[in-house]
Amino acid sequence: MSRKLIYISCIVFIISSCKREDNIIPNNNAPYYGEIPTLLLENYVNRCYIDLLGREPLDDEMIEDVQFLRDNEVTIDSRDQLLYKLQFDTTFIEGDSSYNQAYFHRFYELVKVRLIEGAANSYINSENANWLFEYEKDSIAGNMINAYKRLLEYNKLNDILKSEKQYRNGVISVSEYHRRMVYNSIYDDINMNTFNYINAIFDNLLFRYPTSYEFNECKLMIDDNSTQILMGSSGNCKYDVASIICNSDEFYEGLVNWSFITFLGREANVQERDELMNNLIMYNDYQRIQRIILCSDEYAHFD
């Protein structure tokens, strides 16, 4: 019996002596944003206005937004609220009409710069007038096949002009927005012939060139109207090529990468691309992706 008690006592002693030690990592304290200098906050607010609205904040806006961040200890949530206001607030703002309108106009201009060399609306309208004139001329001459081709080109450019308002109102998705930008006569003029078009659409949207298989499938679709398989989907024309690419997972990955280059000046790493691509596919909310990037300490230079 005494031997049994001694055995139990030894076990209790060993267990009690095996105390868990805390693994403390030096200099790994959670950041306290309340101590960020006012100059850094002003630089952050200024950058947000320029990147999202295309202009610097007015003095009153700067004072109000810096104080808002300061009152909320510059948390990620408070930064998100500020960015959301710049994207969606519809309150009348002199000169902009509203933050919401200025933001979506800015995004429209950025996408045009990315894909059609920033073509001004006045230029698009002049090209449209030419297509309309050619359509009317062919219609009068009874050349209806050519007339309908001209009308199709007119509608493509008209879709670009309508896309800013339609995207702002939620009528079209961000993928449809980009499809319109790569399926029109202006994009064709920039990237003349089938070879250049196929390489350009992959490079512009996916940040890579097509494989030999992908190139051949696209070429057969565009030049021969042959039904082919691209990225797991079938198509038989140029419209299908643009639509398939703009609805692929790689398109969303490319959109994330473009956003990192635009706002951070670098490409997204593999983990960032994967996380934000899946977020974009799941929620179909590109503005949310922008806010995630612009909320970061890296963007704000708080790190």
List 228's β-bridge partners, or say none.
235
> Which pLDDT score, from 0 to 100, does residue 96 have?
81
Give the DSSP per-residue string, the chain.
-HHHHHHHHHHHHHHHH-PPPP-PPTT-PPP-GGG--HHHHHHHHHHHHHHHHSSPPPHHHHHHHHHHHHHTTT-HHHHHHHHHHHHH--S-BTTTB-HHHHHHHHHHHHHHHHHHTT--HHHHHHHHHHHHHHHHHHHHHT-HHHHHHHHHHHHHHHHHHHHHHHHHTTSS-HHHHHHHHTSSHHHHHHT-HHHHHHHHHHHHHHSSPPPHHHHHHHHHHHHH---EEETTEEE-SHHHHHHHHHTSHHHHHHHHHHHHHHHHSS---HHHHHHHHHHHHHH--HHHHHHHHHHSHHHHT--
CB 275 within 8 A of CB 269: no
Residue boundaries of the structural domains of the chain: 35-101, 119-190, 250-300
Q: Half-sphere exposure of 54 toward its Cβ, with a 13 Å CA cutoff?
A: 14
Per-residue pLDDT tens digits of the chain, which is 303 residues long: 445 444 445 444 444 444 444 443 344 455 678 789 999 999 999 999 999 999 999 999 999 999 999 999 999 999 999 999 999 999 999 888 999 999 999 999 999 999 999 999 999 999 999 999 999 999 999 999 999 999 999 999 999 999 999 999 999 999 999 999 999 999 999 999 999 999 999 999 999 999 999 999 999 999 999 999 999 999 999 999 999 999 999 999 999 999 999 999 999 999 999 999 999 999 999 999 999 999 999 999 998
Count the neighbouring beta carbons within 10 Å of the beta carbon of residue 48: 23
> Which pLDDT score, from 0 to 100, does residue 94 have?
85
Q: DSSP class of residue 142?
A: T
Q: DSSP class of residue 246?
A: H
Single pTM value for the model = 0.88
> Which pLDDT score, from 0 to 100, does residue 232 have?
97
Structure tokens at 95: 């000169």
Structure tokens at 160: 């670009």
Reference 299, options 81, 76, 89; nearest CA is 76
Taking the C-alpha atoms of residue 227 and residue 106, their distance in angstroms, rounded to an integer, is: 38
Radius of gyration of the chain (CA): 27
CB 87 within 8 A of CB 291: yes
Q: DSSP class of residue 21?
A: P
Contacts of residue 124, defined as CB under 8 A and 6 or more positions apart, other chains included, come to: 157, 160, 161, 186
CB 100 within 8 A of CB 167: no
